[in-house]
Amino acid sequence: MQESGLKTTPAEESRNDQQKEDPITTAELAILAQKKLPKQVWDYYASGADEENALRRNRSAFDRLLLRPRVFRDVSHVDTSTIIFGKKYRIPIGISPSAMQQLVGGNGEIDMARAAASRGTTMILSSHTTCTLEDVIQAPGGGNPNRERCAQVISRFQGNRINERKTPLVLPPHLSLANLHQKRNNSTTKVKPLKAQPTMNRILLEARTAQEAAEITRGNHDTLNDASLTWSDTMSWLRSKTNLKIILKGIMTAEDALLAIEHGANAIIMEAANWTLSLPLSK
């Protein structure tokens, strides 16, 4: 502004400050988050694997998306709703699972569920949640109207989430806050451990270095992962455990997308693969 000889007025400066605290774009939101979050938490959420090549490719792919404006189209009554598995949502945008949301403050996944409900959309709860399944289900307000169905879902999740086999579709290498950024930068930032149930996901939060996180992971490999899973074996097992819709997250190729449908998946979620180094973009 100084180079052009123009000066901002106090009102304009006030508006600029307000915009900084009320972000609209994801870039503005990221800037605000980086300022407010502890460095170690920011590194955990914002980083990708190794040199972050996959992360840059994904961002570049989104940057290439363009809108095609049309004219003389009646937009006096716009309906953005969509129907997924028989349920209507106000917008065709959902919230993908993201881990350990209480690290950013507040009530974590509970707040996210309430926000999703207030906008007429849905969220997917991460297996690395910092809130109980029951609390998240009740969070949107008034609870699930079908109490019996809700109880069945909770029972299935509680009974199977630890003792049964886990699908290794998505297993980030930095399950703890001691991720690659801490290793590179020799960070000594401390994050207060969350008070939550002592599941493996939360035990990993106690790690203060990448080495500690790796030792915990190695010591509980059988709990965290099963390298013997196959399409036919895993999908038939999943179907035997529930009559709910099965949505697979972690698909990264067209071949696996076809196999997912062939073996009975009701839907898939394409994986961005920020935690891998050399995988191509999912298309």
Would you kindly state where each structural domain of the chain is located, as residue ranges? 230-283
Encode pLDDT of 137-173 as tens digits.
888 754 455 555 556 665 655 554 433 333 334 334 4
- Cα–Cα–Cα angle for 128, 21, 46, nearest 5°? 35
Model confidence at 11: pLDDT above 80: no
If you average pLDDT over residues 118-143, what whole number do you get?
80
Provide the pLDDT for residue 80.
93
Which pTM does this prediction carry?
Answer: 0.66
Of 99 and 258, the structure prediction assigns the larger pLDDT to 258
pLDDT the model gives residue 237: 86
Residue 259 has pLDDT above 90, yes or no: yes
| pLDDT value at 272 more than 50 | yes
How big is the CA angle at 155 (ends 151 and 159), to the nearest 5 degrees?
175
85 pLDDT band, cuts 50/70/90, is: confident
pLDDT at residue number 180: 36
Beta partners for 89? 82
pLDDT at position 164, please?
A: 36
- pLDDT for 222: 58
Q: For residue 273, what is the DSSP state? A: -
Q: How many CB atoms lie within 10 A of CB 37?
A: 18
User: CB-based contacts of 187: which residues, under 8 Å, 6+ apart?
Assistant: 39, 40, 43, 181
pLDDT grade for 130, boundaries at 50, 70 and 90: confident
Report pLDDT for 166: 35
H runs (alpha helix) in the chain? 10-21, 26-36, 39-46, 53-63, 109-118, 133-138, 147-160, 180-185, 200-203, 210-219, 221-224, 231-241, 254-262
- What is the per-residue pLDDT for 142? 45
Q: Spell 151-174 as b/e; 16+ CB within 10 A means b.
A: eebeeebeeeeeeebbbebbeeeb
* Alpha carbons 109 and 96: distance in angstroms, whole number: 12
pLDDT in tens, 200-256: 454 555 556 666 666 766 666 555 567 778 898 889 888 888 888 888 888 888 899
- 26-76 confidence digits (pLDDT tens): 888 889 999 988 888 888 888 877 777 878 888 888 889 898 999 999 999
pLDDT computed for residue 278 by the predictor:
52
Q: How confident is the model at residue 176 (pLDDT cuts 50, 70, 90)?
A: very low
